[in-house]
Structure 1
Amino acid sequence: MGYTQENKNQLLPRAFNGVVKKQKLKEEELKSWHYKDIIEDTIPGISLDKAYDKILRGKKGDTVIVAVIDTEVDIYHEDLKKQFWINTKEVPNNGQDDDHNGYIDDIHGWNFLGNQKGENIIYTSYESVRLIKKFKPIFENKTIDTSLVSQQENYKIYQEAKRRLKENIESKQQQLKTIQKYQQDIKDAINGLKHYFATGSITKENLLEFKTEDTIAEKQAKKIIDYINRGITEESLLGFIEQNNGALELSANLDYQERKITGDNPNEIKDIAYGNNNVSGNLDKLYHGTIVTGVIAAKRDNNKGIDGVINEVKIMTLCVSANGDELDKDIALAIRYAVDNGAKIINMSSGKLLSMNRHWVSEAIKYAAKKDVLFITSAGNNALLLDEKENNYYPNDNDSNEKEISNNFMMVGANSYTLDKKLRYYLTNYGKNNVDLFAPGYKVYTTLPNNKYRYSQGTSIATPIVSGVAALLMSHYPDLKASQIKEILMKSGVSYNIDVEMFQKDDSKKMIPFSELSKSGKVVNAYNALVLAEQISKSKK
């Protein structure tokens, strides 16, 4: 099967060519497929269940602080509330900066999108809008001096920003049309089923038990079940409509003053006197951070909801994301906050195709590397080959797809649970030079605000899986450095000898080896990572 077995707890992966589960996963299998083992369960997960059973049983590791740079998070969620970092140097709610770190009452982290009145930003501008506003006075209706290299480069950025903004607007408009179709589908299905069910009783549980010879009704029931599994409900669609309308009216609006609430100068990195300690507000509109946090840290074995990757973790909540693009200043300051306050891993499940002040973020990443902090970020969900020069994705750790600026940075792509041409999650970005590793990022069951749960997908989900495995290694092998953890994760993953389907620019399809989608060519594997960590840790003694 492509493995070399040297002793009971030592599996060194080469490539998998064996038989996998072909039938559709059952509900309970689906909820935890990402933790399964390719050999024992014939499901291409990360072998976490096997790791806990064969390696970690009866062992307790050190607690690892993981900073989640994202949206606000539900710190009171039933499956998360005991998993958050507490700044013991700060006296809660006394209005003082007790630890003199520049942030008042930062008990669980900091919200870089707020003010001291407790107000927080819901919509941020697109980066394209920021760049257009910067360069429009310079280039609009003016002659360009082509002899100046800086003028040429800035003009190219300006033109790209205008193109990206146009694409964003068209995408949001198309999404609204798709949402309207979903709404009509749900309405038609409910109308077709209403004489089979009492009012309010069309639930997933009832639909799964529904038996009928009416083939149309049967199809309608299956459609609603599929939508529910994908997180598509009447309620969620209304939320998506609100988000898309807000994006068109605010994020894409050149006249929108996004920093009116924070009151800071977004072009001055030393201006840090903004934000607030409200890391758990606006959860009806900003829930991405709760989704991500659940993947890493949902309490295991508590008979509630889901099991995260690791219990021995404390989540530091740093809010820089809303509806729109993150500001480079907020990202850079959040990274530095995480490093200065004890985080050993930083998870950032977001990114953007343009960056106005990338040097601020690059310097912060190098600062994290100097302090031995691992930075793990998502590759993005644009189905782009990031190795192409026009497809930069930020944050990243390279200079024009060539020189890496640090050895503590990982970019993660997403895979599915089908070992066929659809193994690559169809929207994930990829690239042999830019993406380091893949992880499960399709139909992963995780937390939502207000004690709810749902399936989620994308590189935003794959990234915290890798962060969780990294935390496992740091918890049980605290002597290992961040760069060693990265190397272990890259080397110990499982590679699959399979060609995956890729859409080209002309909408044609091309088959390429899954191993060509990332530097490692592999999917993260918790069991193998722990085995390799044990070997390396022992060799140091």
Structure 2
Amino acid sequence: MKFQKFLRTAFLVLVILLAFSCEKKKYSRIQLSYTISNKQKPLEKDNLKNWHFKDVIIDTISGISLNRAYDSLLIHKRGKEVVVAIIDMAVDVTHKELENHIWVNIDEIPNNTKDDDDNGYIDDVNGWNFLNNKTGENNEFVNYEYTRILKKYNSKFQNKTINEVRSEDSLLFVKYKRALEAHTNRLKYAKEDSTYITNVSKWKSEAEHTVEKFITIEKQTLERLDSLKNIYPKNDKLQTAIHRKSNFIKYGFTDDYIEDYKLKAESRISKLLNTNFDDRKVQGDDSEDINDLEYGTPNFNVNTSLLDHGTKIAGIITNIGLNKEIKIIPLAISAYGDEHDKDISLAIRYAVNNGAKVINMSFYKTFILNKKWVDDAIRYAEKNNVLIINCAGNDDFNLNENQNYPTDQDHNSSVEISDNFLKIGASGVYLDEKLKYSSSNYGKKEVDLFAPGYKVYTTYPNNENGYMGGTSSGAAITSGVAALIYSYYPNLTASQIKHILMDSGLEYTFEVSTPTKEDKNKTTPFNQLSKSGKVLNAYNALIMADSISRN
């Protein structure tokens, strides 16, 4: 492999060795203080499923050692049921692999249109959909946060310079100008993207109809196209059409894919970036009033084929509980666009009030309008011993320089507002220069820990399965491991579990790829990409949890 020479000089450094007694056996944390000199075993296609459960010593794969933990540490144990709230898109609660993992509110009588448990949410048997209304409408596309900023402050700041703004409004004006720049750039991209997919659709249709003179559209396979290519080598128009059609097949450009792409591209212009679009019309509430609570429904039977992210996250989290330790509360606040701070805040409070011990928030945005509401909800979760886990985002940004939200950082300082919040980056399969997943954000001030984010096998809507990548996957895996710790060591606090996850990971000091616009070949020691400098390790975390829980 290309990186064999690189690996010979790579050192894996782990924090101090810790031992504990369990089931009359002695277990010690994984200690990697040697130089790797052997080739890592490449993953076969069939072994890609649940690669993230593998162990760095046994399998030479940078997984979380979950199988090792179950095979040794948890083999004779049974944990308590733990509830994880998924604040995300709606979850397909009828999926055969999820239906037995869905939390049930035993204090609520279903479908009687009464708030039996007096929690402010009628018929919330499994959770709440903040995007839905009683007539069955559901928000599928909403504004970006910077679009909302322009909507709110255009009348105050549009076409003004900093010298024309009152001094007390100067910081707000700077935020407005940043939002305007982001909106302008995104709109330019959105128009180009819409033109691109329109042309792709046109080229596909033209290619298919040219080839259709020889092969019907439904029979245009790669094999038949290759055969046709050899029969008419001098027909340039046909050769071009065959080449294009072959590429559409190879890269998965089906009619469904193109239509989905077109819908999102067009909606980005007409809704996500449109300052005249009312993205709260469905709910009918005032998004600027945190006390306006009467909106949403308990209905998750929405377009999960389009809004599929929540279902994917649910599968990753529940799959960590191999002994079925984990239940989930679906809380739908996400659509295409950015989440409303009001929905984030209320969903966190709902999760806390209904017994969740872990809250997974695999979303992020680059601007925030009502940070105080979210900060207050995070503190409320901390007060009630609930851990919140958030993804770092997939822009390949250094978050020391490009902050995103939600965050546990104070706006005006580097001080954390609470000690129950983790921001997770995504790691790759092998111990090489690509250990940081290519698109993962990073940053020693903002990102706490890394976890696997390359092709994680999970549930898809409509009883299907597939792979998912990015920091959303890393956050979900971390949420699952946090739930395991709560399950087997329920006396631990959210703060303790946060630091167990960070301190027990595997620290790698070798250089990884962190390219910038100025330096495409830039590298950084992996342990400088996050506060902990580590990759999540379930085996080590459970050992440390056992030790701390005994003290």
Q: TM-score of the superposition, structure 2-length normalised? A: 0.86
Cα distance in structure 2, aligned partners of 1:253 and 1:507: 35
Matches within 5 A, 1:284-433: 284-298=305-319, 311-388=324-401, 391-400=402-411, 402-433=414-445
Q: Secondary structure at the match of 1:281?
A: coil
Amino acid at match of 1:343: A
| 2:169 aligned partner | 151
| 2:455 aligned partner | 443
Shift of 1:31: 1.3
Unmatched tracts of structure 2, length 5 or more: 1-11, 21-25, 225-229, 231-238
Amino acid at match of 1:251: L
Matches within 5 A, 1:481-492: 481-492=493-504
Matches within 5 A, 1:138-177: 138-142=156-160, 148-176=166-194
| 2:96 aligned partner | 78
Closer, same or farther in 2 for the Cα pair 1:507/1:337, shift >3 Å? same
Unmatched tracts of structure 1, length 5 or more: 208-212, 299-306
| 2:295 aligned partner | 274
| 1:304 aligned partner | none
Q: Is the 8 Å Cα contact of residues 15 and 496 (structure 1) preserved in structure 2?
A: no
Cα distance in structure 2, aligned partners of 1:187 and 1:22: 45
Shift of 1:171: 3.7
Deviates more, 1:159-168 or 1:23-32: 23-32
Amino acid at match of 1:346: I
CA deviations 1:423-477 (Å, max 9, x no partner) are 1111111110100000011111111100111111111111000000001111011
CA deviations 1:317-373 (Å, max 9, x no partner) are 101100110000000000011111111100000010000001100000001000100
Closer, same or farther in 2 for the Cα pair 1:330/1:310, shift >3 Å? farther
CA deviations 1:382-425 (Å, max 9, x no partner) are 1111112xx12100001135110000000000011132211111
Question: Radius of gyration: which is bigger?
Answer: 2
Cα distance in structure 1, aligned partners of 2:49 and 2:393: 23
| 1:302 aligned partner | none
| 2:523 aligned partner | 511
Matches within 5 A, 1:228-243: 234-243=255-264
Q: Is the 8 Å Cα contact of residues 363 and 393 (structure 2) preserved in structure 1?
A: yes
Cα distance in structure 1, aligned partners of 2:207 and 2:537: 41
Cα distance in structure 1, aligned partners of 2:525 and 2:418: 28
Q: Is 1:69 paired with 2:69?
A: no
Cα distance in structure 2, aligned partners of 1:435 and 1:30: 27
Q: Is 1:493 paired with 2:495?
A: no
Cα distance in structure 1, aligned partners of 2:32 and 2:60: 17
Amino acid at match of 1:107: V
Cα distance in structure 2, aligned partners of 1:6 and 1:185: 63
**Structure 1 residue runs of 4 or more that deviate by more than 3 Å after TM superposition:** 1-8, 12-17, 19-24, 141-149, 170-203, 219-228, 307-310
Cα distance in structure 2, aligned partners of 1:13 and 1:413: 23
Q: Secondary structure at the match of 1:376?
A: strand
Matches within 5 A, 1:196-235: 227=251, 234-235=255-256
Amino acid at match of 1:397: D
Q: Is the 8 Å Cα contact of residues 443 and 456 (structure 1) preserved in structure 2?
A: yes
Closer, same or farther in 2 for the Cα pair 1:126/1:147, shift >3 Å? closer
Cα distance in structure 2, aligned partners of 1:145 and 1:16: 60
Cα distance in structure 1, aligned partners of 2:325 and 2:53: 17
Q: Secondary structure at the match of 1:98?
A: coil
Amino acid at match of 1:105: D
Q: Is 1:109 paired with 2:109?
A: no
Deviates more, 1:139-148 or 1:158-167: 139-148
Cα distance in structure 2, aligned partners of 1:63 and 1:375: 18
- Given candidates 471, 477, 484, the residue that maps to 1:465 is 477
Shift of 1:534: 1.0
Cα distance in structure 2, aligned partners of 1:192 and 1:416: 43
Q: Is 1:248 paired with 2:269?
A: yes
Closer, same or farther in 2 for the Cα pair 1:534/1:355, shift >3 Å? same
Q: Secondary structure at the match of 1:9?
A: strand
Q: TM-score of the superposition, structure 1-length normalised? A: 0.87
Q: Is the 8 Å Cα contact of residues 165 and 173 (structure 2) preserved in structure 1?
A: no
Q: Secondary structure at the match of 2:542?
A: helix
